[in-house]
Amino acid sequence: MVLAGAILFMGCFAVYPLTAEAAPPEASAPKDSKSNAVRQYENTESYGAIAFSPGTKQWRMRWSVADQQQAIDLVMAECGASDCRLILVYGSGVCGTFSLGANGALGVGAGINAADAVKTALAGCFASGDKCKAAKVRCNK
């Protein structure tokens, strides 16, 4: 499995390194996924975040949170498993989701609408597995 990280999309966009067990496939990462460095652009008005546990398959999602760090802290605290990892952070005007496959494949997606987010998440998941299904999409204002 190729390693990638979480994505902070649109007004903000970042790649967070993950462990091999929790990492989504490279197809769901930004084009410059060779680096584990965090990439970030201008701040936005609201944030969303998703945390996922590869061991328990538990996950938590928050959206329309005023502060980026608060969005991250909330999902990490609520995930409820010791192996929870941040897989997505996204900014204003952006929708986010993730997808899981039957064999443990994970895809992460964000876009300017729900369809774009699902398409990206499913593409990342199908790159490493099959029978992928996307979680509910949540959009920031």
The Cβ-side half-sphere exposure at 46, using a 13 Å CA radius, reads 14
Mean of pLDDT values over 86-112 = 94
pLDDT per position as a tens digit, 53-82: 999 999 999 999 999 999 999 999 999 899
Query: How far does the chain reach from its first CA to its final CA, in angstroms?
Result: 34
pLDDT per position as a tens digit, 92-104: 999 999 999 988 8
As beta bridge partners, residue 90 has 48
User: What pLDDT was estimated at residue 96?
Assistant: 96
Residue 89 CA to its chain's centroid (Å):
6
The range of the structural domain enclosing residue 103 comes to 5-139
Has residue 23 got a pLDDT over 90?
Answer: no
Q: State the total domains in the chain.
A: 1
